Amino acid sequence: MLLTIDTGNTNTVFGLHDGKEWRAQWRTSTHTGRTADEYVVWLSELMRMQQMDVSQINSCIISTVVPQSLFNLRNLSRRYFNVDPKVIGENVNLGVDIHIDNPREVGADRLVNAVGAYMSHGGPLLIVDSGTATTFDVVDEAGAFQGGIISPGINLSMQALHDAAAKLPRVAIERPERTIGRNTVEAMQAGVFWGYISLIEGLIDRVKAEYGKPMKVVATGGIASLFHGATEKIDIFDPDVTSVGLLEIHRRNADG
């Protein structure tokens, strides 16, 4: 049983794969101070609800963009599963060519997504990952990472609007029925939601024009579903890109 752990700035996703299929996936908020003991109590209870037990876990792979979280996650694997985890960026071969100025600068999540999206959908691809940041990453026809774009995420933008303007309230991000808001909440929701749709569509057009070849656009990430049906520029909505990437990278390093 393989445990995959994908730690982002906002959420951490745990997945279990038995070698044939995904058995379960769970999402929790990212807290760098959460200890290995706390993780295993939480994980044990969730596995018990699915008629599984932590003793079944015999391998682990970790991807994190939050370095402070790695110590406790590594301890979780070593102490409770008796395995040294594979860690993206440390002790694994991704099997991906990285064609940018400094390959060490690329976030683990973006490279894992490149592997997962290419495995599922081929290439060339533009991957739009909506999370704390919204990233746009290009994967060519051979599966190589060609670079991309990093922009603030939609939740971050809404939070910044509330924090910086004293009279603007904190509001939930929803798809508004109209573009022209008739009150403050509607106006903020319209500005952030449709503003992000315009950002996504505009950057997709610019990337395609610069790349110069037909490419599929795959959307993933914790809040990608928010944009489902709001734009025709996205060809595929796939929430499992990262999980597929971690599984494939683990397979590529099975003997390592």
Catalytic residues: 109
What is the rounded end-to-end Cα distance, in angstroms, of the chain?
Answer: 17
Torsional sign, CA 134, 173, 225, 11 = positive
CB atoms closer than 10 angstroms to residue 171: 16
Tokens of 58: 């015999």
Contacts of 232 (CB under 8 A, 6+ apart): none
Q: What distances in angstroms separate CA 189 from CA 198, 203, 232, one per listed residue?
A: 14, 21, 20
Contacts of 94 (CB under 8 A, 6+ apart): 88, 111, 115, 249, 252
